Amino acid sequence: MKNFKNIVLIALSFAAVGCSKDLDINTDPNNPTAIESKVLLPRIEKYLGESLAMGTGFGNNLSAYTHQMVMYGNADQYGAGGNDFYWGQGWDYAYREVLTNTDIIIKQSTASGDLHYVGIAKIIKAYTFSVLVDLFGSVPFSEANQLVEGIKYPKYDEGKDIYPQLVALIDEGISNLGANSGVSPGADDVIYGGKIDSWVKAANSIKFKLLLQQRKVKDVKAELAALIASNKLISSTAESFMVPFGPNGATDDRNPGFGEYYASQRTLYVSPWLYEIMKGYNSEIMTSNSDPRIPYYFFNQIKATAGPLSDIEYRDGGFVSMYFGTQGPNKGKNNQNTITVFGVYPVGGRYDDGQGGTASASSGTGAAPYRLITYSDMLFWKAELIQAGVISGDASATFQSALNESMKMVDYVVSKNGSAQNIPVLATSTATTNFVNKAVTAFNAANDEKKMELIMTQKWVSNVGAWVEPYNDYRRTGYPILFDPNKFGGKMTPPSGGNGGDDMPTVPVVSIRKFPNSLPYILDEISKNLNAPAQKTDLSTAKVFWMP
């Protein structure tokens, strides 16, 4: 992994989107054009990842909404407040650190003729705005970052009006990348190392995603077919669009989610819902097919053979957690050294070899990328589109390829981790072959609706650690099926014989809120921006424009 060198030493100008009424627009204490594009680019890429990740940005709460994690805090029971720290920090990182600085690169590198920097900046800008639209619906776009032009209070544009402009921006970026002009990025581009072909494929894959998102509100068949025919989409694990993190060095470049792995007071637990589905315990979802990724995903601090434990809500062997929406007597108990945490994949923690041990900063490296769009994502999306009748192809074969590529991605992340452990190769293992064959057999035997459920459930599993896309996928397709306390209650007890079951009480769980179909507007922004909309009152009905 490459370090984001010198980033912490840079002082950038303040450029909030919804600016304070007291800000003097005639004063520019720092001149950002003095900072070279080669210095800005790695900072932009770093904060692109941090704006989305668990521990620093939107992913913290989205991980609970999509039932990959359970948390103490606002996101439990689908809580969502405009004053939430992680919503605000994700927003600030996106606008202040990413979008402000992409605009600087676009302006100064256009003037200097360094058009490859311009192209990369436009692609990152388009991707970042697409995420903001997907999360909030309406956001400042056309008037964002125009403080110098005298716009103190940017209007919020509708997502349906922003999306077409993002496609145009991506096309401009691709055109800039095709120019033979000026200085090109190299090691300062921590995502692709200045490889222009990889950036073109990433750009087209972002366009693919934007079209996919709209498939239920717009006819996108011809545009998707043209993109596929171009053969300029992400087509290998190595080409995946990812922000690298870690290991720790002169600057702390570890995956933001690694902070939860070794935290002295953890607030996030791995969801038993995710665990049981991967174990094959769930009687309705992917039953009786244990996922070989489990020891890569989850690190158990206790051995499976450990004796009974007190003050826990959920245990299966070495796996310890708590429920979403819990109202049980052990909800607030400190299980610091017994709870299960995410492992070598996706946050750079420890591979679970069954020996247990305290999860600490020294027991993992923190080297794991934030995955924006991977090759396996592309294949799962294609399987979805084939199954929905939007594109042609073999849904079963594409589903199988997606599963295999999701295993290769785990091996790729492990290969970059730098762990001293002897971690077995996953993709070519007998366990993986058996798992994939059984999953494909179940797929081929399923009806059309169940096939869509299997595609999106497996994509959800593969996306653990990449928190935004599962939220999008669920709102677009209705899958994966999420934990419903009213249906499943607090009795997700492992099958008879699971040695942890004896420890577990019956736990009351409740969900008093509906699923949030978009995020609340950031309170600090709408309280200062005179052109901001009123705060949303019902997030369950505040759908983004591409939702059916």
Q: Under DSSP, is residue 314 helix (H, G, I), strand (E, B) or coil?
A: strand
Could you tell me how many residues make up the chain?
548
In this predicted structure, the answer to whether residue 489 has a pLDDT above a threshold of 90 is no
List all residues 6 or more positions away from 27 whose beta carbon is below 8 Å from its beta carbon.
none
Cα 166 to its chain centre, rounded Å, is 20
Q: Which CATH architecture has domain 7-21+31-233+516-528?
A: Alpha Horseshoe (1.25)
- The pLDDT, as a whole number, for residue 34 is 63
Tokens of residue 263, six digits: 């935290």
DSSP-derived secondary structure letter, 97: I
- The pLDDT, as a whole number, for residue 493 is 52
Q: Which residue has the tokens 């922003």?
A: 162
Distances (CA, A) of 496 to 281, 286, 414, 493, 501: 11, 18, 34, 8, 8
The per-residue pLDDT for range 272-323, each reduced to its tens digit, is 999 999 999 988 898 999 999 999 999 999 999 999 888 888 899 999 998 8
In this predicted structure, the answer to whether residue 92 has a pLDDT above a threshold of 90 is yes
| DSSP E strand boundaries for 360-405 | 370-373
Answer with the residue of higher pLDDT: 63 or 506.
63
Helices 395-415/430-445 angle, 10° precision: 150
Q: Under DSSP, is residue 293 helix (H, G, I), strand (E, B) or coil?
A: coil
In this predicted structure, the answer to whether residue 473 has a pLDDT above a threshold of 60 is yes
In this predicted structure, the answer to whether residue 10 has a pLDDT above a threshold of 50 is no
Q: Which residue has the tokens 């913290």?
A: 60
The pLDDT-based confidence of 505 (bands split at 50, 70, 90) is: low
* Pairing state between β 314-316 and 268-270: unpaired
Q: Where are the domains of the chain?
A: 7-21+31-233+516-528
CA–CA dist 94, 458 (Å, integer): 29
| DSSP E strand boundaries for 280-348 | 298-299, 314-316, 319-321, 341-342
Tokens of residue 401, six digits: 């390829």
In this predicted structure, the answer to whether residue 23 has a pLDDT above a threshold of 50 is no
Contact (Cβ atoms closer than 8 angstroms) between residue 518 and residue 79: no
| Mean pLDDT score across all residues of the chain | 90
Distances (CA, A) of 67 to 265, 275, 280: 21, 10, 16
256: preceding bond cis by omega (within 30 degrees)? no
Cα–Cα nearest to 542, from 80, 60, 75, 219: 80
Mean pLDDT of 415-429: 96
Residues linked to residue 321 through DSSP beta bridges, in sequence order: 314
In this predicted structure, the answer to whether residue 337 has a pLDDT above a threshold of 50 is yes
DSSP-derived secondary structure letter, 181: -
In this predicted structure, the answer to whether residue 418 has a pLDDT above a threshold of 60 is yes
Least confident of 213-222, 238-247, 257-266, 426-435: 257-266
DSSP class per residue in 335-348: -TTTS-EEBHHHHS
- The pLDDT, as a whole number, for residue 150 is 85
In this predicted structure, the answer to whether residue 514 has a pLDDT above a threshold of 60 is yes
**pTM value?**
0.92
The per-residue pLDDT for range 96-135, each reduced to its tens digit, is 999 999 999 999 999 999 999 999 999 999 999 999 999 9
List all residues 6 or more positions away from 286 whose beta carbon is below 8 Å from its beta carbon.
277, 280, 439, 442, 454, 457, 458
Counting other chains too, the contacts that 12-15 makes at CB distance below 8 Å and 24 or more residues apart are 12/43, 12/96, 12/97, 12/100, 12/101, 13/100, 14/96, 15/95, 15/96, 15/100, 15/145, 15/147
Helices 115-136/196-213 angle, 10° precision: 20
- The pLDDT, as a whole number, for residue 26 is 46
In this predicted structure, the answer to whether residue 27 has a pLDDT above a threshold of 60 is no
In this predicted structure, the answer to whether residue 15 has a pLDDT above a threshold of 70 is no
The per-residue pLDDT for range 156-187, each reduced to its tens digit, is 999 999 999 999 999 999 999 999 989 999 99
Cα 367 to its chain centre, rounded Å, is 16
